[in-house]
A and B are shown apart, each in its own frame.
Chain A
Amino acid sequence: MQKENKVVLNVENIHKSYGKEKILKGVSFTIKKGETKVIIGPSGSGKSTLLRCINQLTIPDQGKIFLENDEVTHHKKEINRFRQKMGMVFQDFNLFDHLTALRNVEIGLIKVRKMDKLTAKKKAMEELKQVGLKKQADLFPAQLSGGQKQRVSIARALAMDPKVMLFDEPTSALDPELIGEVLEVIKKLALAGMTMVVVTHEMGFARSIANEIIFMEDGLIKDQGTPYKIFNNPKHERTRKFLNKITELYGRS
């Protein structure tokens, strides 16, 4: 796969505290077009907060974010423009409960990208088809399984044609037998060349799609490298300990 050298996302020295507690203590990384970076680490290490700082759902105390060399952090008023170019998938799906699956995917196109209804509907149906949910288009979230809900939420994010996709523990809230269908979709996306940052506990999955794995603990990046390097030859003892624990829990896959 031809990888261009263009940097898509630049995360520089992000600090964030909630009251007295410092969650992020200076996190930086970059990601190039087509790359998939997977962030792993114990709970409380700041992974989700970091993701939300990237699209400014959480405003960092310090640090900068650049999307294709455009500074995101400085533009409070134009943040919506940037958010359109970043797709986010949440652990709790956060589908709009009062809208059908189709409407959930459409609404961003109509309200934010100002598409006309016909074009929006066509595109939305196409996205739903891509995640395998064409038949469920007119169902409401309450009528869908967890895995289906998450796939709709992926379709909703993809419909906006983002430059980068941010996945915040996309399978953590799913029953085990539903995890596979969602991982399938994400894997397909990675292979198609989407630039992605994925926070996950699914180690086997991480190994198979990541160009680079980032290990976070206590608000800092403690280790990063290719999956091979991290899993077989981690730099830090802590990384090794964590991986062992996870492998114990989830098994090697």
Chain B
Amino acid sequence: MDTIAFIREILLIPLLEGTIVTVKLIIFSIPLGFLLGILIAVGRVYGKKIISTFCAIYTLFFRGSPLLVQLFILYYGLPSIGIYFSPFVAAVLGFILCSGAYHSEYIRGAIQSIKMGQMMAAEALGMSKFQAIASIILPQALRRAIPGCSNEVIYLIKYSSLAFIVTCVELTGAGKIIASRYFEYTLVFLVVGAIYLFIVSVVTKILSMLEKRLEIPGMG
């Protein structure tokens, strides 16, 4: 069977289905991971000793260990203590927890780069710490964290392929199944690779448009 026919008749649909799963994985993980990152960063910088230490240990664990090990713990480990997740949920959970740690480091760095005077001025007006963080510090810090956080978003899209190893069949998984059945590894994975490259370019474009929209004269 020639290449084009193979692609059209055998490869296309499973890969498309796999791509949809990949998109579902990232649609949940990216925003939630980012939000978790904000919470952890704020907890680390502004929280009391207990919260701050917890956030530091959390970050240490999730940035120091491989994502794959974390997925194994969630999917293969937890059942032994009675917690069962479906492959998809385990994957999304792992992605959120892991990427949250990475985002939190970028955001933490950005928060710490904001001049102390901003917080002082906010408090001088009578704002509570929470108001000051939400209305004054975060809007500036998040803008500064955009390059780092965008980087992490792109990483997540690529690492979503690990979901396959905990049996969630996304794009890479779909490819592996077809490839091993028809022994067409090279072709299949070149196509799979091309799809990832495409997704990454689209998201990069979106992120760069977002960055333009949020630009403020004189900042960053």
Q: Which residues of A contact B (CB under 8 A)?
A: 55, 57, 80-84, 86-88, 90, 92-98, 107-108, 111-112, 140-143, 153, 156-157, 160
Q: List 28 A–B pairs whose Cβ atoms lie within 8 Å, in order of A's numbering.
A: A80-B127, A80-B128, A81-B126, A82-B126, A83-B126, A84-B125, A86-B124, A87-B124, A88-B121, A90-B120, A90-B124, A94-B118, A94-B120, A94-B121, A96-B121, A97-B219, A98-B136, A98-B139, A98-B140, A98-B143, A107-B125, A108-B125, A111-B131, A142-B219, A143-B217, A143-B218, A153-B121, A160-B125
Q: How many contacts between A and B, using CB within 8 angstroms?
A: 78
State the Cβ distance, A111 to closest chain B Cβ, in Å. 5
Q: Which residues of B contact A (CB under 8 A)?
A: 115, 117-118, 120-128, 131, 135-136, 139-140, 143, 216-219
Q: Which residues of B contact A107 (CB under 8 A)?
A: 125, 135-136
Partner of B118, one of A80, A86, A87, A97: A97
Cβ-closest chain A residue relative to B216: A98
Q: Which residues of A contact B216 (CB under 8 A)?
A: 97-98, 140, 142
Query: Chain B interface secondary structure, helix, strand, loop or mixed?
Result: helix
> How far, in angstroms, from A84 to B127 measured CA to CA in the complex?
8
A112 touches B124 (CB 8 A): no
> How far, in angstroms, from A157 to B123 measured CA to CA in the complex?
12
Q: Which residues of B contact A87 (CB under 8 A)?
A: 124
Contact of A96 with B136 at beta-carbon distance under 8 Å, contacts A140-B216, A141-B218, A142-B218 already known: yes
Q: Which residues of A contact B126 (CB under 8 A)?
A: 80-84, 108, 112, 160
> How far, in angstroms, from A141 to B124 measured CA to CA in the complex?
18
> How far, in angstroms, from A143 to B121 measured CA to CA in the complex?
19
B124 touches A111 (CB 8 A): no
Q: Which residues of B contact A97 (CB under 8 A)?
A: 118, 140, 216, 218-219
Q: Which residues of A contact B143 (CB under 8 A)?
A: 98
Q: Which residues of A contact B136 (CB under 8 A)?
A: 96, 98, 107
State the Cβ distance, B146 to closest chain A Cβ, in Å. 13
Cβ-closest chain A residue relative to B140: A98
Of the listed residues B120, B124, B126, B143, the one surrounded by the most CB atoms of chain A closer than 10 A to its CB is B124
State the Cβ distance, B58 to closest chain A Cβ, in Å. 28
State the Cβ distance, B138 to closest chain A Cβ, in Å. 10
Cβ-closest chain A residue relative to B129: A80
B127 touches A140 (CB 8 A): no
Q: Which residues of B contact A82 (CB under 8 A)?
A: 126
Nearest 5 interchain pairs by C-beta: A142-B218, A84-B126, A94-B121, A94-B117, A108-B125
> How far, in angstroms, from A43 to B145 measured CA to CA in the complex?
37
B140 touches A90 (CB 8 A): no
State the Cβ distance, B116 to closest chain A Cβ, in Å. 9
State the Cβ distance, B28 to closest chain A Cβ, in Å. 29
> How far, in angstroms, from A90 to B127 measured CA to CA in the complex?
16
A112 touches B125 (CB 8 A): yes
State the Cβ distance, B132 to closest chain A Cβ, in Å. 9
Cβ-closest chain A residue relative to B124: A88
Q: Which residues of B contact A143 (CB under 8 A)?
A: 217-218
> How far, in angstroms, from A143 to B218 measured CA to CA in the complex?
7
B125 touches A156 (CB 8 A): yes
Cβ-closest chain B residue relative to A166: B124
B125 touches A140 (CB 8 A): no
Q: Which residues of B contact A157 (CB under 8 A)?
A: 124-125
> How far, in angstroms, from A142 to B140 measured CA to CA in the complex?
14
Q: Which residues of B contact A153 (CB under 8 A)?
A: 121
Q: Which residues of A contact B124 (CB under 8 A)?
A: 55, 57, 83, 86-88, 90, 157
